[in-house]
């Protein structure tokens, strides 16, 4: 069954003409963002096959290039690559979603005291700017952008702890959470109050690591409790319609 989507409602996620001066790296980045956004927006449903031949045609790119992009998406666990079956949009199960949030609670909460200890006024200013952009995306109804900005905010919090290994792990967990929120979250919210990140920043700015730790637990619990674990039937996507490109 083919997924029917309106080009006008989706928008042209991928520019047909990037210009002659656009280098390969920039071109790959644009295509990567287009596919990533389509997954988070659920224009590409969980379980949908991402055929290399169709993607090369849609984006006018080599198979080697599209494989590189799919491998990047696979590293972020937005895409699953299976031998002899190819790539498909990752379909997180309810159990996997709960495991991801359990891991986030253990790691992110544990990092908050160190983050509060090391956060500088410049770091606090940066965090407030990130939260501002997230609020703007939420208010504009740009759910995909808001989910990504929220993930970036949490990863930055973890980086402030000074533990690069755990911060990288948080980044991976947040990437998986982005897909989980896109699949199981409601369209109207991201599972948390809009001021939650502002409150976290206030605790860090005041050096109150234990309060930040407790609030982070509350914050992640609220996100998880907002999820609705209902499975949907997978559809075969029309890539030309999704990316606004006429064959």
How does pLDDT run across 24-72, given as a tens digit for each residue?
A: 788 899 999 899 888 877 788 888 999 999 999 999 999 999 999 999 9
Mean pLDDT of 8-13: 34
Q: Where are the alpha helices (DSSP H) in 50-142?
A: 52-59, 63-75, 94-118, 121-139
Nearest to 158 by CA among 173, 143, 138: 173
- CB atoms under 10 Å from CB of 157, counted, come to 26
Element (H, E) at 87: strand 86-89
Mean pLDDT of 114-122: 97
pLDDT at residue 187 tops 70: no
167 or 233, greater pLDDT: 167
Give CA–CA dist 154/164, Å, rounded.
Answer: 14
pLDDT band of residue 95 (cuts 50, 70, 90) is very high
Let me know: does 150 contact 62? Beta carbons within 8 Å: no
Mean pLDDT of 86-91: 92
pTM of full prediction above 0.95: no
Average confidence score pLDDT of the chain: 84
Residue 242's pLDDT is what?
Answer: 72
Residue 77's pLDDT is what?
Answer: 85
End-to-end CA distance of the chain: 20
Give CA–CA dist 65/27, Å, rounded.
Answer: 10
């Amino acid at each position: 069954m083919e997924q029917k989507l309106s080009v006008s409602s989706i928008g042209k996620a991928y520019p047909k003409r990037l210009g002659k001066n656009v280098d390969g790296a920039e071109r790959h980045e644009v295509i990567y963002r287009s596919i990533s956004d389509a997954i988070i927006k659920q224009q590409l449903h969980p379980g949908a096959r991402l055929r290399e031949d169709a993607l090369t045609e849609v984006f006018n790119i080599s198979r080697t290039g599209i494989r590189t992009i799919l491998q990047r998406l696979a590293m972020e666990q937005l895409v699953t690559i299976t031998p002899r079956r190819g790539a498909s949009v990752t379909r997180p199960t309810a159990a996997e979603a709960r495991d991801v949030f359990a891991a986030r609670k253990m790691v992110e909460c544990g990092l908050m005291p160190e983050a509060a200890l090391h956060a500088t006024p410049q770091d606090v200013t940066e965090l407030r700017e990130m939260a501002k952009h997230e609020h703007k995306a939420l208010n504009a109804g740009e759910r995909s952008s808001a989910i990504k900005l929220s993930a970036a905010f949490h990863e930055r919090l973890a980086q402030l702890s000074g533990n690069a290994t755990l911060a990288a792990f948080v980044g991976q967990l947040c990437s998986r959470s982005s897909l989980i929120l896109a699949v199981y979250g409601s369209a109207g919210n991201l599972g948390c109050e809009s001021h939650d990140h502002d409150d976290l920043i206030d605790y860090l700015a005041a050096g109150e690591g234990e309060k930040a730790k407790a609030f982070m637990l509350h914050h992640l619990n609220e996100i998880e409790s907002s999820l609705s674990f209902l499975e949907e039937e997978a559809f075969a996507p029309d890539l030309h319609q999704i990316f606004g490109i006429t064959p």
